[in-house]
Amino acid sequence: MTSFPAIVIPTYNEAQNIEPLLRQILRLIPEARLIVVDDASPDGTGECVKKIAADFSQVELISRTGARGRGLAGVQGFEYAVQKGYDPILEMDADGSHAPEKIPDFLEAARSHDVVIGSRYLKKGAIKNRGMLRNALSGMANGAIRVFLKMPYKDCTSGFRCFRKKALESIDLSSMVSTGPSIVFEVLEVCHRKGFDIVEIPIDFLNRERGDSKLTIGKLADAFGMIFKIRAKGKNR
């Protein structure tokens, strides 16, 4: 049986971005299954996705209710993709920061590696049009993660990644402590500790042009605190 690649896209208020993104991915990788995990966005993101899903059976919408969060949405998307048997399972942001043209490189690398990180901090990677403060905070977060979680990767906070199903399947996703953006390095930490083969490939990260970032000071502080919660969980999972 051939498995389809899945692309998990968490969304909150991305009505201006989601349609062009889905159409571009459908053009580039028509065999991919696109799983949008939306947190009842008040701007109608879910309705935009439903319209496209009516024409393209590859597009699936998970409409979440209750507590919202990038982490909660990501976990639900992964659980769904694993349960459907999709392989490999990629994740990316909806805001135009992650270029769909790069997806084939992830799929190619995932043929010989278990986890592929799209890295902004490799020599050939880049961050474009983002403010100095955000760049400095991202650098600090990556530094702290490397030290306290003992991971050697240059970009542990990138949300553009690809996992072989066997890697995500081996993780108890219900044990994740992150409800917010720290989910990206929490999942990576568990894959790293389990000894999966993890590789980084360069990406250009373009700061969003439409819509607003959902990262607040509170969420950022929470993500820094999570480094220590994840470390405390340690080998117990």
Ligand X SMILES: Nc1nc2c(ncn2[C@@H]2O[C@H](COP(=O)(O)OP(=O)(O)O)[C@@H](O)[C@H]2O)c(=O)[nH]1
Interface ranges with ligand X (CB under 6 A): 10-12, 14, 37-39, 68-70, 73, 93-95, 97, 159, 208, 213-215
User: Site map for Mg ion, 139-178, x if CB under 5 A?
Assistant: ----------------------------------------
- Residue placing its CB nearer to ligand X in the complex, 114 or 118: 118
Q: Are 120 and 142 in contact (CB under 8 A)?
A: no
- Residue placing its CB nearer to ligand X in the complex, 11 or 119: 11
- Residue placing its CB nearer to Mg ion in the complex, 138 or 179: 138
Distances (CA, A) of 172 to 34, 49, 168, 237: 23, 29, 8, 7
Among 39, 60, 87, 95, binds Mg ion (CB under 5 A): 95
Q: How far is the CB of 197 from ligand X (least distance, A)?
A: 26
User: Site map for Mg ion, 197-216, x if CB under 5 A?
Assistant: -----------x--------
User: Does residue 100 have a cis bond before it (omega within 30 degrees)?
Assistant: no
Q: Are 61 and 46 in contact (CB under 8 A)?
A: yes
Q: Which does 69 bind (CB under 5 to 8 A by kind): Mg ion, ligand X, none?
A: ligand X
Q: Measured between alpha carbons, how far is 12 from 70 in angstroms, rounded to an integer?
A: 8
Total residues found in the chain within this entry? 237
Q: Are 128 and 98 in contact (CB under 8 A)?
A: no
Instruction: Decide if residue 97 touches Mg ion (CB under 5 A).
Output: yes
Name the H helices within 29-126. Answer: 45-55, 70-84, 103-109
Closest to 204 in 3D by CA, of 102, 112, 116, 75 = 102
Q: Which does 10 bind (CB under 5 to 8 A by kind): ligand X, Mg ion, none?
A: ligand X
- Residue placing its CB nearer to Mg ion in the complex, 88 or 211: 211
Q: How far is the CB of 182 from ligand X (least distance, A)?
A: 11
